[in-house]
Amino acid sequence: MPPMTLQRIVSGGQTGVDRAALDAALDAGVPVGGWCPKGRRAEDGPIPARYPLTETPTERYAQRTAWNVRDSDGTLILHQQPLAGGTALTQQEAKERGCPCRVVTLDPSHATNDALQWMHTHGIAVLNVAGPRASEEPGIYAAAYAFVKSICEQAA
């Protein structure tokens, strides 16, 4: 597989997978961005300013989700339990828009090779990373951070 360049990770800034992706990318030196709800709304209060996200005109999570899918080359959904709520909405939004979407069930032995191949096949330079919030899947932050950090190190 020829080398590819991951140019940016986008995410909505919610706790859990969103913040894990942003932190992993920042730690790997990959630029980050994305849309977040007006007021930087998240389950734990305002999204910290260290994440350079742009606020949507409304506080609706669904608008942030749709705009991050729209403004990326593809969406990577990371989870450990069945998709529900906003995570399921993300998958549906990608499907309706005809955007590449890959769903990965994280476990300790999961390698990034399949996701990297998918990114290469679809020419994904701007990757939207989504998944459950921390309150929905305890421990998801650490698993998602390790996965995204590995992708950033291999694809950037």
pLDDT at res. 118: 96
CATH topology of domain 8-155: Rossmann fold (3.40.50)
pLDDT, tens digit (0-9, with 9 covering 90-100), for 6-22: 999 999 999 999 999 99
Cβ neighbours for 104, distance < 8 A, ≥ 6 positions apart? 76, 77, 78, 79, 110, 114, 115, 147
Cα 122 to Cα 150: distance, rounded to the nearest angstrom = 19
Distance from C-alpha of 24 to C-alpha of 29, rounded to nearest angstrom:
9
Q: How confident is the model at residue 145 (pLDDT cuts 50, 70, 90)?
A: very high
* Alpha carbon distance 10, 37 (integer Å): 14
